[in-house]
């Protein structure tokens, strides 16, 4: 379990999902997502095939099917097409610009020259038969319904955990509905908050408090690692931008080898303890962060953070200025972390926001 590592979750992680997911990947409850994931699992099966038995065929000017030596023609999803193209050492973006017969010939040429290997395929049995994934036999699948079931158990034991409200279907100004449960052909994403058990933030003059949230992501087709991140936050907008996000604990594991099942089960107990726990520990961390100073002066603080974090002089200075403007003590770890968070929210580029949020997370872990 990565309790002290740097999270990939930022204030904009949930927002990007809210803005990008199509309506058919959005669910109004974790129960509804679980039912859909369970239905999909019941329809699919895993098979092991030889690379030499795979070939594609064009069935339309813009559509391919896969033949696997069993006499069955299987349709491809956008994702499984990318995986198959990668197996054939052919660039998928370029192949999509070609007529299907030419793209099929290119893939088949690559497959014929691929070393003979076994491949694991995930196929939807319902007509038309559809290939969801093609991965190596070492790929360890964690099913979405198993994870959603664990989340439902948590929600049953602790009802305050719920989906936050968000504008419907990612449309600004639309009706606010429970949002944050997404399931597509590539991955599952869940964003839940506990809005009832708050922490008093002594640096916040509004006394709005801090709350807990967590994000879990999983792919059963090889598109993403299994991850769960717990964090504190001040507020969630209806477009799912998370204000004042501070990472607390996280788990991240690639789908390789049987050990992921044991690692997930073991680590889930630790993460679950963080989700279930009384807020006393978080209060202690917050008190330490607000009392621990990085230096007695602005210059000393900047020297300290530049030695610890991968920041430019300008970024550190701008973060301190924002902390000085909005926080009670900009020299404290908590004050400077809030300055970094505010600077991230003003940064137009995603990679820049990620770097700043990562720096804030790293600095906060020094007081755990």
pLDDT at 294 over 50: yes
Average pLDDT, stretch 199-211? Answer: 63
pLDDT at position 149, please?
Answer: 92
pLDDT at position 187, please?
Answer: 95
Q: What is the mean pLDDT of the chain?
A: 85
Pairwise pLDDT comparison (345 vs 223), residue with the higher score: 223
pLDDT at position 278, please?
Answer: 59
* Measured distance CA(117)–CA(50) in Å, rounded: 6
pLDDT at position 134, please?
Answer: 93
* Measured distance CA(196)–CA(106) in Å, rounded: 57
**DSSP secondary structure of 115-158:** PP-EEEEEEE-SSSPEEEEEE-TTB----HHHHHHHHHHHHHH-
Task: Assign 3-class secondary structure to 183-196.
Answer: ECCCCEEEEEEEEE
Q: Where are the domains of the chain?
A: 13-40+141-278, 44-135, 288-367
pLDDT at 349 over 90: no
Dump pLDDT digits (tens) for 133-192.
999 888 888 899 999 998 998 888 877 889 999 999 999 999 999 999 999 999 999 999
Q: Does pTM surpass 0.85?
A: no
Average pLDDT, stretch 13-27? Answer: 95
Q: Model confidence at 86, in pLDDT bands (50, 70, 90)?
A: very high
Q: Model confidence at 100, in pLDDT bands (50, 70, 90)?
A: very high
Q: Model confidence at 368, in pLDDT bands (50, 70, 90)?
A: low
Q: Model confidence at 5, in pLDDT bands (50, 70, 90)?
A: very low
Among 20-24, 88-92, 276-280, 345-349, which is the least confidently predicted range?
276-280
- Tell me which range, 31-40, 48-57, 272-281, 350-359, is most confidently predicted by mean pLDDT: 31-40
Q: How many CA atoms lie within 13 A of 242 on its CB side?
A: 30
Average pLDDT, stretch 254-259? Answer: 71
- Which candidate, 317, 330, 175, 227, places its Cα nearest to that of 13? 227
pLDDT at 1 over 60: no
pLDDT at 274 over 80: no
Among 12-16, 79-83, 248-252, which is the least confidently predicted range?
248-252
pLDDT at position 268, please?
Answer: 60
pLDDT at position 282, please?
Answer: 65
Pairwise pLDDT comparison (295 vs 203), residue with the higher score: 295
Average pLDDT, stretch 87-102? Answer: 92
pLDDT at 219 over 50: yes
pLDDT at 37 over 90: yes
pLDDT at 92 over 50: yes
Pairwise pLDDT comparison (368 vs 62), residue with the higher score: 62
Q: Taking a C-beta distance cutoff of 8 angstroms, is the pair 197, 211 a contact?
A: yes
The answer for residues whose C-beta is within 8 angstroms of residue 367's C-beta and 6 or more apart is 285, 288, 289, 292, 333
Q: Model confidence at 4, in pLDDT bands (50, 70, 90)?
A: very low
- Which candidate, 251, 264, 243, places its Cα nearest to that of 164? 243
Q: Model confidence at 230, in pLDDT bands (50, 70, 90)?
A: confident
């Amino acid at each position: 379990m990565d309790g002290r590592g740097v999270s990939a979750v930022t204030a904009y992680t949930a927002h990007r999902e809210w803005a990008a997911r199509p309506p058919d990947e959005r669910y109004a409850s974790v129960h509804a997502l679980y039912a859909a994931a369970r239905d999909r699992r019941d329809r699919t099966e895993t098979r092991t095939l030889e690379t030499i038995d795979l070939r594609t065929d064009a069935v339309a000017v813009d559509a391919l099917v896969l033949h696997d030596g069993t006499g069955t023609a299987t349709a491809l999803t956008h994702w499984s097409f990318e995986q198959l193209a990668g197996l054939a050492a052919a660039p998928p973006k370029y192949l999509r610009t070609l007529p299907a017969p030419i793209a099929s010939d290119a893939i088949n040429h690559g497959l014929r020259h691929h070393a003979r290997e076994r491949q694991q395929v995930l196929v939807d049995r319902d007509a038309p038969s559809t290939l969801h994934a093609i991965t190596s036999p070492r790929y360890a699948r964690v099913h979405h319904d198993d994870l959603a079931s664990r989340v439902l158990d948590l929600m049953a034991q602790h009802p305050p955990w719920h989906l936050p409200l968000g504008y419907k279907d990612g449309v600004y100004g639309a009706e606010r509905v429970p949002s944050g449960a997404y399931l597509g052909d590539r991955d599952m994403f869940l964003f839940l908050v506990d809005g009832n058990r708050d922490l008093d933030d002594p640096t916040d003059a509004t006394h709005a408090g801090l709350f807990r949230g967590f994000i879990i992501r999983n792919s059963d087709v090889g598109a993403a690692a299994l991850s769960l991140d717990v964090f504190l936050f001040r507020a969630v907008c209806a477009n799912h931008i998370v204000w004042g996000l501070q990472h607390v604990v996280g788990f991240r594991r690639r789908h390789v080898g049987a050990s992921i099942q044991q690692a997930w089960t073991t680590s889930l107990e630790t993460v679950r303890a963080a989700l279930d726990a009384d807020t006393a520990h978080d209060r202690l961390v917050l008190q330490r962060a607000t009392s621990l100073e990085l230096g007695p002066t602005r210059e000393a603080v900047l020297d300290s953070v530049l030695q610890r974090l991968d920041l430019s002089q300008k970024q550190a200075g701008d973060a301190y200025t924002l902390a000085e403007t909005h926080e009670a003590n900009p020299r404290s770890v908590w004050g400077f972390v809030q300055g970094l968070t505010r600077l991230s929210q003003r940064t137009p580029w995603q990679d820049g926001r990620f770097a700043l949020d990562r720096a804030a997370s790293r600095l906060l872990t020094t007081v755990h």
